[in-house]
Amino acid sequence: MKKLFFVLYMIILGCGHGVMAQSKTTETKASMLKVLRSKLAKGTVEGGTSKKNAEKFADYFTKELSEKLNLEELTIFYKLNTAKPAQIKELEKQAIKMGLKEKMKTLGMACASILQ
């Protein structure tokens, strides 16, 4: 369970020093999910999970993002993970306003055992 919270924390804060370029308005849902999946898998491996389990968890978590977040919520979540540090505070305010923080508490819980 601790690994799950660590992974989610890494996602929300941008996961390490490999921050991607800022989102363009032309980003599609599929491209955003692809970038998020890649960052999640990489961050989970860096957190000590095997590559196989990290990819399995990333696949599941990305699927949940796709199913449970609308496009606006997914866009904010994506921007939080790809933005420059100076932009994070404003994006966090937007995420809190739309209730994204509460939704994120339940995502990935069904497959948390993969990380243990």
Close Cβ partners of 97 (under 8 Å, ≥ 6 residues apart): none
In contact, 46 and 16? CB cutoff 8 Å: yes
Mean pLDDT of 13-42: 71
For Cα atoms 99, 56, 64, give the angle at the middle one, nearest 5 degrees.
25
Structure confidence by residue, pLDDT tens digits, 31-53? 999 999 999 999 999 999 999 99
pLDDT in tens, 51-68: 999 999 999 999 999 999
The residue assigned the tokens 């069904």 is 110
Q: pTM (2 decimals)? A: 0.74
Contact yes or no for 108/11 (Cβ under 8 A): no
pLDDT band per the 50, 70, 90 thresholds, residue 28: very high
